[in-house]
Amino acid sequence: MSKKMKASLLGLGLVLPSFLTLLVLVIYPVTISIRESFQDEQDNFSLANYVYIFTEPLILQNIRHTLFVTVVSCIFVLAIAYFIAIYLRFSKSRISRWMNKLYFIPMFIPGVIAVYGFINFYRDNGWLARIVGEGMVPPIIYDVKGLVLINIWFNIPFTTMLLVAALESIPNSIIESARDAGARKLHIFTKFIFPLSYRTMLVAITFLFMGMVGSFTAPFLIDRNAPQMLGVSMQQHFSVFNEIGQSSSLAVFMFLLCSFVGYFYIRSNMNNSKKDSF
């Protein structure tokens, strides 16, 4: 056996476990969901499930609610995380050094524990109401405001970590040269910092959108009963109403939403790769 053949078999052997894992845990379930979404109760081909999710008023409200919460949460998370990342990158104060060590701690707190702590703090008779007085705190739990807040709390550490890594890759010489040339802070940000970090912003937006649009734990415990996030609605159609076809169609719809966002991310990376190659 030639060395080239041995190298090819070795590469195939290294890739095969990952491919089989992807096949069993991702590709096969997705294929099953797509097939079930096009079946009726008699397992015949039908578009009734998709007609249902695009004509049922409650499902349409759930879709609008999901997109609203996801988009608003992504905007707030990205804005706050970017501000924190810039502060951590360019500040040399003691506060920034402490923040740089502590900002990722929420990533290691289990989601259920964090949600229950959030409920105990912000509910009508929770800790915050006891401090400022009952009736002084606007309704947050079982409201869209609470869901947006918990999404921000969950996702700021990971997004900040990505953005800090991107900003730290910008050489100090570029910033110092711009300052020596008389460029103001706003000009430095718009012409140097933002263009050199926006690719990471696209990565962050992609992960944020995919994580929030199909989230279940926080919406199930904090959000109101109607309208619901699509993850909660899909779970109820599957386990409560035993509507496998409808839940599968909702899963396919969420997959298409994530694929739509992922398409623009991949397209942007491909365009940038072409520019870099010239």
Helix, strand, coil percent values for the chain (each to nearest 5): 80, 0, 20
State the fold for domain 38-277.
MetI-like fold (1.10.3720)
Q: Is the pLDDT of residue 277 over 60?
A: no
Instruction: Give the pLDDT confidence score for residue 10 in this predicted structure.
Output: 81
Residue with tokens 């924190």: 84
* pLDDT 10s digits, 192-212: 888 888 888 888 888 899 889
Percent of the chain scoring above 70 in pLDDT: 95
CA distance 226 to 237: 14
Distance, in Å, from the CA atom of 234 to the CA atom of 203, rounded to the nearest integer, reads 27
Residue 78: per-residue pLDDT: 93
Mean pLDDT, the chain, integer: 86
Res. 230 pLDDT band, cuts 50 70 90 = very high
Residue 61 is predicted with a pLDDT of 94
Domain ranges of the chain: 1-27, 38-277
**Which positions ≥6 away from 156 have C-beta within 8 Å?**
77, 80, 81, 84, 103, 106
Rounded distance, CA 41 to CA 44, Å?
A: 7
Average pLDDT of the residues in 102-122? 85
pLDDT at 267: 76
Q: pLDDT category, 94, cuts 50, 70, 90?
A: confident
pLDDT of 275 higher than 80 = no
| Model pLDDT for residues 125-181, shown as the tens digit of each residue | 778 877 777 777 778 888 888 899 999 999 999 999 999 988 888 888 888 888 888
Mean local confidence (pLDDT), 109-137: 81
